Structure 1
Amino acid sequence: MPTLAIIGAQWGDEGKGKITDYLAEDSDAVVRFQGGNNAGHTIVIGDNVFKLHLLPSGVLREGKLAIIGNGVVVNMDDMAEEIKQITDAGLSIDGLRISDRAHLIQNYHKKLDGAEEIYRGKNSVGTTKKGIGPTYQDKIARYGFRAGDILEPELVREKAEFILPMKKDLLKMMHAEECQCTVEKFEDKFKRWGETFGKYVCDTSVLINDMIDEGKNILFEGAQGAMLDIDHGTYPYVTSSSTVGGGICSGSGVAPNRIDNVVGCLKAYTTRVGEGPFVTELEGEAEEELQKKGGEFGVTTGRGRRCGWLDLVVAEHAARLCGFTHWAITKLDVLNDYDKIYVCTGYDVDGKVLKHFPASLSKLEKAKPIYKEFDGWDSWDDSEKIIKDGYDALPKNMRTYIEFIEEYTKIPASIISIGPKRSETIDRFGKWF
């Protein structure tokens, strides 16, 4: 069963887009299994920079299927804009497939998302206001529209006549912008979506499992990161879907025993967007320096990301939940030219050392990082030579840093990324499929 998954090991923005694109070279299909267009991947191919939010990163690989699984929530109109970005660059999206069970984001979801954040006041969770949470709410409450509905437009009126009045009342109660939707507009919209996207909609669970049975190579692509998981993340400052290993199965319709290897994408330092605890967060000039060096500004929101040192308590938590078999360590080059670099190996909470990430926000707010200090390393002039010569050509202190991560987590660092380009990747594992 040649299957491989990649999941972010922190709060997202770990560089999964580049690593997925790299690993997709030998895959036959790339599958998104959760989240929506609140995620953001930047992929650099030659002189082209692609910023994807919903489409699987593998869509940029010609001749491969790019599958949006049932666990994803889909904004059809925003997806059309992403498709235009790709086709304008001369690439094809013939390989796109969308699960008929994937739920669809509506305009009222986005209005409710923004209104809920305002209503929360000081307790806001930092949503991207893309309508992700309200769409998942409707999925659980059984009020949702699914991609399969665009293939049966005659059923849309019945559902819209039931759902729209309820949503309009809810928007009014939340003092949100009024929804101008009508049943007729819904019918027209679903008809248009059917004409544009209907040919891509199918039962993707059957498709994926058939491909596995045929010996095809399947790459599962996670969005966000393990620390944003609805159950295991820094609740309530989390996303609305399962971002850990179990989400692969529920979000794509495959069984657990069909997943061979899981790569944890680990940024060489830590970032997060929005609210929530962040034990290793830097402040002032130190944070600004790391933010600037790493280009840490959100692909989806444009907001500056909060930055701090690498947190191995977080990495251990993610590894345990996701079953990582390998690390892909990214953005190591951002740490070039630091005199000293620090790694958190535990939390001091009222004099007690915690080695495992706690659920309690009050403990996290009081936690002080316990750091191990490392000597830094100098930058280099020729990335191509380092890539050609391999891992041993990396600066010695960088290798010491990597090897400490391996020793602490007991997981091999099989992929080393030292730049944003596809080519700036050292692959120590070899053949992934």
Structure 2
Amino acid sequence: MTGDPTGRHVAVVDLGYGDAGKGTVVDWLCASRPVDAVIRFNGGGQAAHNVVLPDGRAHTFAQFGAGTFHGVPTHLSRFVVVDPLALAGEATHLAGVGLPDALDRVTVDREALLATPYHRAANQAREIARGADRHGSCGMGVGESMSYALAHPDTAPRVGDCLDEGLLRHRLTLLRDRLTAELGPLDAPPVADTVTAFTAFARRVSIVDRSWTTRLLRAGTVVFEGAQGVLLDEWHGFHPYTTWSTTTYGNVDALLAEAGMPGTVTRLGVLRTLTPRHGPGPLVTEDPALRPPERHNGTNAWQGRFRFGHFDTVAHRYALDVTGGVDALALTHLDLVGAHRLRLCEAYDWTDRLPVGPTGNLDRQAALTRRLLASRPSYATDPEPEPDSWVAAVEAALGVPVRLTSHGPTADDKATLSGYRRSTETEPK
């Protein structure tokens, strides 16, 4: 079920494999209206939400909310895997682009899991051991943190442990010893050094309990900023090329329900005019001839190649079905239209709608993945020309209105259609 399209809160989710432009959409939302906080509700330090200001300053937001340039506070909910070392590095970069006090506006739920150097080292060791069968991990230890917490729920390090040096040291030592016993020596710093860094983190940010989220939601307007994409969801993505994170609106719904405010949110789904994917896994519409300029994404040692496919209506329909639908769409990268021969895939060679299975059946998802790896896109004509109007074509294909379009990286490059009026004095270009 979708949310309230007039709800005071907005939840931003990527309906693809990630990298559709969630950061620039959140930046625009925070520039366009009063927003009291950005709540991160999944993922961790592996997120990469790129924001460019009209004056040229830029930052890739990982754990800070993408509204930080506008002074909007960030709250890391209990569903985020928090990496204190990566957060400190991100704060250093923000200081270099004119925001020396970004950490002063961060609150962190004490129940959130910690991503430690030991998780990161174990994550990288496992991915290297997969050889040619790599999953495309970011190598940041987020999935390792989730996996360890499932195996050892009572001793998994959490943010609140950073307030108790003795407890933190005990849990980090236990973690290191368990992972070392399983994987051999890890390329990670001594526990004492990690304790020093993590307790410094606890002194620098505000660590709160879950009631803080409820107060935020009841007192003001919040933008929920999702990480990654629905097609990478831990339960509904194409296993095993997925993330250890709920990338749907599930965590948003849980936080709103706890606050006694179920449904008081506009669900905004983000899509590109093409369908990218970072790393291995199904990308049915992949076209090696598609090589648009990509300033912020590229091949790296952990995820692998940054790949491009034509707009995949079938995959995006599946994402809509998995989430229960959205109220509106934000369509990004419209500046590519005309410069590249972009096409719209309406079906595969065997279906135009993927079946949604029950949560938790990873064998079923793996079977679907194998089917997708052998699938071929079906276009109306070959070669099919670009749609005359991408907005109209996407709306017709998915049955959801496009309410925000993006023709470039900054907030000034956004344009609203009915339903999202910009509250500043000048309209976006």
> What TM-score do the two structures reach when normalised by structure 2?
0.85
Question: Corresponding residue for 1:430?
Answer: 420
| Pick aligned residue for 1:7 from 2, 13, 17 | 13
**CA–CA separation in structure 2 for the residues paired with 1:179 and 1:107:** 6
Question: Corresponding residue for 1:191?
Answer: 199
Matched, 1:162 2:152: no
**CA–CA separation in structure 2 for the residues paired with 1:127 and 1:103:** 18
Q: What code does the residue aligned with 1:345 have?
A: E
> Displacement, 1:303?
5.6
Unaligned runs of 5+ in 1: 377-396
Question: Corresponding residue for 1:30?
Answer: 38
With over 3 angstroms needed to count, the CA separation of the structure-2 counterparts of 1:179 and 1:117, relative to structure 1, is same
**CA–CA separation in structure 2 for the residues paired with 1:88 and 1:178:** 29
**CA–CA separation in structure 1 for the residues paired with 2:300 and 2:47:** 8
Instruction: Decide whether the 8 Å contact of 1:69 with 1:102 is kept in 2.
Output: yes
Matched, 1:150 2:152: no
**CA–CA separation in structure 1 for the residues paired with 2:294 and 2:67:** 27
**CA–CA separation in structure 2 for the residues paired with 1:426 and 1:207:** 34
Instruction: Decide whether the 8 Å contact of 1:419 with 1:425 is kept in 2.
Output: yes
Superposition pairs for residues 344-363 of structure 1, below 5 Å? 344-349=345-350, 353-356=351-354, 359=365, 360-363=368-371
| Pick aligned residue for 2:250 from 246, 256, 265 | 246
Question: Corresponding residue for 1:332?
Answer: 334
1:74 match: secondary structure: coil
1:341 match: secondary structure: coil
| Pick aligned residue for 2:396 from 403, 407, 432 | 407
Q: What code does the residue aligned with 1:67 have?
A: H
**CA–CA separation in structure 1 for the residues paired with 2:243 and 2:255:** 15
Matched, 1:282 2:287: yes
Instruction: Decide whether the 8 Å contact of 1:37 with 1:130 is kept in 2.
Output: yes
| Larger helix proportion of the pair | 1
| Pick aligned residue for 1:52 from 49, 61, 67 | 61
Greater Cα shift, 229-238 or 136-145: 136-145
Q: Deviations over 1:183-225 (max 9, x none)?
A: x44543333232333xx2112x3223223323x1111000111
| Pick aligned residue for 1:418 from 391, 407, 411 | 407
Superposition pairs for residues 62-211 of structure 1, below 5 Å? 62=71, 64-91=72-99, 92-93=101-102, 94-141=104-151, 142=153, 143-172=155-184, 177-182=186-191, 184-197=192-205, 200-203=206-209, 205-211=210-216
Greater Cα shift, 410-419 or 162-171: 162-171
**CA–CA separation in structure 2 for the residues paired with 1:154 and 1:310:** 52
**CA–CA separation in structure 2 for the residues paired with 1:80 and 1:22:** 25
Instruction: Decide whether the 8 Å contact of 2:217 with 2:259 is kept in 1.
Output: no
**CA–CA separation in structure 2 for the residues paired with 1:169 and 1:251:** 37
Q: Deviations over 1:262-318 (max 9, x none)?
A: 1000011010011101100012xx13x33x367652799796410010001111111
Q: What code does the residue aligned with 1:275 have?
A: P
Instruction: Decide whether the 8 Å contact of 1:280 with 1:308 is kept in 2.
Output: yes
> Displacement, 1:344?
0.9
1:308 match: secondary structure: strand
1:257 match: secondary structure: coil
Instruction: Decide whether the 8 Å contact of 2:416 with 2:422 is kept in 1.
Output: no
**CA–CA separation in structure 1 for the residues paired with 2:174 and 2:51:** 42
Unaligned runs of 5+ in 2: 1-6, 357-364, 424-429
Q: Deviations over 1:132-185 (max 9, x none)?
A: 11111122221421111112223224334533321221231xxx5454534x44
Question: Corresponding residue for 1:21?
Answer: 27
**CA–CA separation in structure 2 for the residues paired with 1:40 and 1:84:** 16
**CA–CA separation in structure 2 for the residues paired with 1:342 and 1:258:** 35
Instruction: Decide whether the 8 Å contact of 2:160 with 2:207 is kept in 1.
Output: yes
Question: Corresponding residue for 1:218?
Answer: 222
1:309 match: secondary structure: strand
1:154 match: secondary structure: helix
Instruction: Decide whether the 8 Å contact of 2:76 with 2:107 is kept in 1.
Output: yes
**CA–CA separation in structure 2 for the residues paired with 1:335 and 1:302:** 27
> Displacement, 1:250?
4.6
1:169 match: secondary structure: helix
Q: Deviations over 1:11-58 (max 9, x none)?
A: 000011100110123211111111111110111112201122221112
> Displacement, 1:248?
2.2
Matched, 1:235 2:225: no
Matched, 1:364 2:372: yes
Instruction: Decide whether the 8 Å contact of 1:168 with 1:178 is kept in 2.
Output: no
1:263 match: secondary structure: strand
2:262 match: secondary structure: helix
2:216 match: secondary structure: helix
Q: What code does the residue aligned with 1:134 have?
A: E
With over 3 angstroms needed to count, the CA separation of the structure-2 counterparts of 1:431 and 1:296, relative to structure 1, is same
**CA–CA separation in structure 1 for the residues paired with 2:297 and 2:199:** 40
> What TM-score do the two structures reach when normalised by structure 1?
0.84
Question: Corresponding residue for 2:273?
Answer: 268
Q: What code does the residue aligned with 2:286 have?
A: E
> Displacement, 1:254?
5.2
> Displacement, 1:235?
1.0
1:130 match: secondary structure: coil
